[in-house]
């Protein structure tokens, strides 16, 4: 009887890492492997519904909130991202999982044949080496972002660029891609309470851990970014594009985990029924992910832009981050005398909290996506074949905007100039951050009109929109073919499994 491979999956405790790695676990289990996913008690409750195979088990490990100086319940990066100090403590708590995980690996039966971790879980290196288990890295960003970041790290743009707004070219890549300093991912240079620059240490540890892996898995597909896949392979050796892993979800209404909190309509079924009543490609979907912190003023401008666009829309507003902001936004949304929801009733749907994003984007009525350009959301938009209004906010999201607009040609910029800076937030959600003014409603409206093809024909926008839509639909077809039997990602998963088997010989 053939040996059943046992994969141990260890994500950083953040939605953007847990969701795609869990999807990949579902994919491995579907091929007959046994999969163990390391999680924490609260994350286990949230994400267990997205596991649909009896060959998968979750293993909750207590997250050391108290020991790291975190409030109880801060088991996910999403809960602390607007506080640099709490974010440092969160990564410190993550590193403290090394000892309990080492104990877990020693007790696991059967022993894991392979460990797959996401970026920033650098502390998995020592336990893997102790038990002589081959370790692979699962990248949650694109080869385009990875290669651009690598090329910039080798260049002297920081010395050459005079100001945050001065543009510079990314060297030695196939397309003409320009950035400013303000658009590059930020880390804080301030010291943590123990006197060390925690983020710089994390970056060093991540690099060391990446350099010693047996191979790298990327949640992308070769046809989407073949120029950058090949370039990244030249820099890193074994690289397999195995995505989009979100396409492993056959039951899209539950994709992404979490509980749905939908207002008018009040259920997933009602939301999709509402979409059934709309014309094909007529609805704009707006959602900004789980990590983005948006001020009350900006939320209102988004709503006014959606309203002025005259397109039907679904707008997701995540759980409010601050009580003061929640009260102000809720009053603006739900006021009985001329509130936002009253004005857009019948044409617009507001969802508070989690939404079935894959199901919504995949619906025939949805033709555009206002997105923060997180890589998971970007891929989901690509898979759905929709055009995008790009609104990057931090991390690698400006890389993804360049890729969507300048490389793929399926997006329109809303026009933000730089990353949000949470370092001086001081827990005040109404702070608009120091290098971004609020994006006004008319800019939101204009970008939506360009994507939905509702601007005047004299400007030629209808033809341009049609070309973008055709390109988006072509990419969606390519994504589906990549994960089907015989497709590039399907074959790469087989090659990866073959490499694991080779490591065990």
Q: Flag whether 376 is in a domain.
A: yes
Minimum mean pLDDT range among 64-68, 128-132, 399-403, 465-469: 465-469
Which stretch of DSSP H or E encloses residue 10? strand 6-10
Percent of the chain at pLDDT > 90 equals 66
* Buried/exposed 16-34: b ≥16 CB within 10 Å, e otherwise: bbbbbbbbbbbbbbbeebb
Does residue 256 have a pLDDT over 60?
A: no
Higher pLDDT, 321 or 288: 288
CB atoms within 10 A of CB 331: 11
Q: Are residues 35 and 77 in the same domain?
A: yes
Q: Are residues 223 and 274 in the same domain?
A: no
pLDDT tens for 42-61 read 999 988 888 878 999 999 99
Q: Are residues 302 and 376 in the same domain?
A: yes
Q: Are residues 233 and 313 in the same domain?
A: no
Q: Taking a C-beta distance cutoff of 8 angstroms, is the pair 229, 364 a contact? A: no
Mean pLDDT on 77-102:
91
Q: Are residues 311 and 342 in the same domain?
A: yes
Q: Flag whether 285 is in a domain.
A: yes
Cis amide prior to 89 (ω within 30 degrees) = no
Q: Flag whether 96 is in a domain.
A: yes
Which of the four pLDDT bands, split at 50, 70 and 90, describes residue 156? confident
CB atoms within 10 A of CB 185: 13
Q: Flag whether 20 is in a domain.
A: yes
What's residue 67's pLDDT?
Answer: 96
What's residue 258's pLDDT?
Answer: 39
Does residue 216 have a pLDDT over 90?
A: yes
Which of the four pLDDT bands, split at 50, 70 and 90, describes residue 253? very low
Q: Flag whether 430 is in a domain.
A: no
Q: Are residues 372 and 457 in the same domain?
A: yes
What's residue 187's pLDDT?
Answer: 53
- The whole-chain average pLDDT of the chain stands at 86
Q: Flag whether 306 is in a domain.
A: yes
Q: Are residues 30 and 53 in the same domain?
A: yes
Q: Are residues 140 and 155 in the same domain?
A: yes
CATH number of the domain that residue 161 is part of: 3.40.50.2000
Range of 43's domain?
6-185+201-248+482-504
Q: Are residues 67 and 216 in the same domain?
A: yes
Does residue 391 have a pLDDT over 50?
A: yes
Q: Please state whether the predicted TM-score (pTM) of the whole model is above 0.85.
A: yes
Mean pLDDT on 430-443:
67
CB atoms within 10 A of CB 431: 16
What's residue 51's pLDDT?
Answer: 85
Q: Are residues 61 and 178 in the same domain?
A: yes
Higher pLDDT, 208 or 339: 339
What's residue 228's pLDDT?
Answer: 97
Q: Flag whether 358 is in a domain.
A: yes
Residue 172's Cβ-count burial label (10 Å; 0-12, 13-18, 19+) is exposed
Higher pLDDT, 491 or 207: 491
Higher pLDDT, 250 or 98: 98
Mean pLDDT on 379-383:
98
Q: Flag whether 209 is in a domain.
A: yes
Q: Are residues 238 and 281 in the same domain?
A: no
Which of the four pLDDT bands, split at 50, 70 and 90, describes residue 249? low
DSSP code per residue over 150-168 = HHHHHS-HHHH--STT--E
CA-CA distance, 245 to 405, in Å (whole number)?
Answer: 23
Q: Are residues 460 and 494 in the same domain?
A: no
Mean pLDDT on 290-318:
92
Q: What DSSP character marks residue 406?
A: I
Return the structure tokens found at 359: 């199901």
Return the structure tokens found at 375: 């890589």
**Structural domains in the chain (count):** 2
């Amino acid at each position: 009887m053939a040996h059943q491979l046992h994969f141990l999956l260890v994500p950083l405790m953040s939605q953007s890492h847990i969701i795609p790695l869990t999807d990949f676990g579902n994919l491995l289990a579907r091929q007959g492997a046994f999969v163990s996913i390391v999680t924490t008690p609260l994350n286990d409750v949230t994400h267990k519904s997205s596991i649909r195979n009896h060959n998968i088990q979750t293993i909750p490990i207590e997250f050391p909130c108290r020991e790291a100086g975190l409030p109880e319940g801060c088991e996910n990066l999403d809960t602390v991202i607007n506080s640099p100090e709490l974010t440092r403590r969160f990564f410190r708590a993550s590193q403290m999982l090394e000892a309990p995980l080492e104990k877990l690996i020693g007790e696991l039966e059967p022993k894991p044949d392979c460990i797959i971790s996401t970026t920033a879980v650098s502390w998995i290196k020592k336990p893997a080496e102790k038990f002589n288990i081959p370790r692979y890295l699962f990248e949650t960003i694109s080869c385009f972002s990875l290669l651009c970041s690598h090329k910039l790290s080798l260049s002297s743009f920081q010395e050459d660029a005079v100001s945050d707004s001065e543009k510079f070219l990314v060297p030695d890549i196939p397309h003409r891609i320009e950035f400013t300093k303000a658009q590059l991912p930020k880390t804080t240079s301030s010291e943590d309470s123990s006197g060390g620059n925690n983020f710089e240490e994390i970056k060093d540890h991540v690099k060391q851990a990446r350099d010693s892996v047996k191979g790298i898995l990327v949640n992308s597909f070769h046809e989407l970014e073949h120029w950058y896949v090949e370039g990244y392979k030249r820099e890193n050796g074994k690289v397999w594009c195995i995505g989009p892993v979100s396409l492993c979800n056959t039951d899209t209404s539950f994709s992404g985990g979490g509980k749905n909190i939908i207002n008018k309509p009040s259920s997933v079924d009602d939301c999709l029924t509402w979409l059934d009543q709309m014309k094909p490609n007529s609805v704009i979907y707006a959602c900004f992910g789980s990590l983005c912190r948006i001020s009350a003023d900006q939320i209102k401008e988004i709503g006014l832009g959606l309203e002025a666009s005259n397109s039907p829309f679904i707008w997701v507003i995540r759980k409010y981050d601050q009580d003061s902001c929640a009260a102000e936004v809720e009053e603006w949304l739900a006021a009985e005398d001329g509130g936002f929801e009253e004005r857009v009733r019948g044409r617009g749907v507001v969802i508070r909290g989690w939404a079935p994003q894959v199901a919504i984007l995949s619906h025939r009525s949805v033709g555009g996506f206002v997105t923060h350009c997180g890589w998971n959301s970007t891929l989901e938009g690509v898979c759905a074949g929709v055009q995008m209004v790009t609104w990057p906010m931090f991390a690698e999201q400006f890389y993804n905007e360049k890729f969507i607009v300048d490389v793929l040609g399926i997006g329109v910029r809303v026009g933000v100039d730089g990353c949000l800076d949470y370092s001086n937030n001081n827990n005040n959600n109404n702070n608009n951050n120091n290098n971004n003014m609020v994006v006004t409603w008319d800019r939101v409206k204009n970008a939506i009109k360009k994507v939905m093809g509702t601007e005047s024909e004299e400007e030629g926008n209808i033809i341009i929109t049609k070309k973008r839509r055709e390109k988006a639909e072509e990419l969606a077809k390519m994504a589906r073919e990549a994960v089907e039997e015989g497709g590039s990602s399907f074959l790469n998963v087989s090659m990866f499994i073959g490499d694991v088997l080779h490591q065990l010989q």
